[in-house]
Amino acid sequence: MPLTDMNVFASFVLIFVSAAFTDNILLARFLGMCSCLGVSRKVDTSIGLGAAVIFVTSCTSALNYLVYTYMLVPLELEYLRLIIFIVVIAAFTQLVEMIIERVSEKLYNALGIFLPLITVNCAILGISLFMLNKPYSFWQAFAFGLGGGFGWFLAITLIGGIREKINEASLPKGLEGPGITLIIIGIMALGFVGFSGMIKI
């Protein structure tokens, strides 16, 4: 059934699930790898960064959708989307960081310190760009951002959990750190490939 014919809620759920699982931005597209390798050493920090990513992807996909449909398309400047999206995302994260820092120190320590890390995260830009491949409505675009962020959160938390366990084991010197993490990510990616083809939109 084409997306436009479905009721809003059903399409919302469908897009969310497909963005989170079948098209997992970290494990199927391999985006956002740098911050993932850096921060996934512990589950706590993974959850913090993951939550920040969910928040930023959902907000920026909505923002970028508006910018694209109501500014870039009418002006026929679609080819500028890459650079405009980057600027919007960077400004948005900076702004949110300032607001969080002012409003709540607890929230800042849990979430705010990760925001500068994801200002130029490719996963976030990727979600904003991929969202244009399908004829989404505003809410569908938001669902895509939310689902994409959730998929990234899920992946980094799982990786963090595995790495915490693995750090207790004695590894060959050459495999420590990023080496073993990339292998873990590769094996997990194989698992996520199993989801592909489950949903076709």
> Where along the sequence are the contacts to other proteins (CB under 8 A)?
45, 71, 75-77, 79-80, 83-84, 87-88, 91, 94-95, 98-99, 101-102, 105-106, 109, 113
Q: Which is nearer to other proteins, 137 or 164 (CB)?
A: 164
Q: Are 32 and 124 in contact (CB under 8 A)?
A: yes
For residues 9 and 77, what is the distance between their CA atoms, to the nearest angstrom? Answer: 32
Q: Minimum distance between the CB of residue 175 and other proteins, rounded to whole angstroms?
A: 24
Nearer to other proteins, 106 or 134 (CB): 106
Q: How far is CA 190 from CA 17, 115, 164, 181, in A?
A: 18, 30, 21, 14
For the chain, give the number of residues.
201
Number of Cβ within a 10 Å radius of residue 122: 17
Q: Which is nearer to other proteins, 5 or 76 (CB)?
A: 76
| Residue 164 Cβ vs other proteins, minimum distance, rounded to whole Å | 16
Rounded least distance, CB 177 to other proteins, Å: 17
User: What's the start-to-end Cα distance of the chain, in Å?
Assistant: 8
Tell me how far, at minimum, the Cβ of 82 lies from other proteins, in Å.
Answer: 12
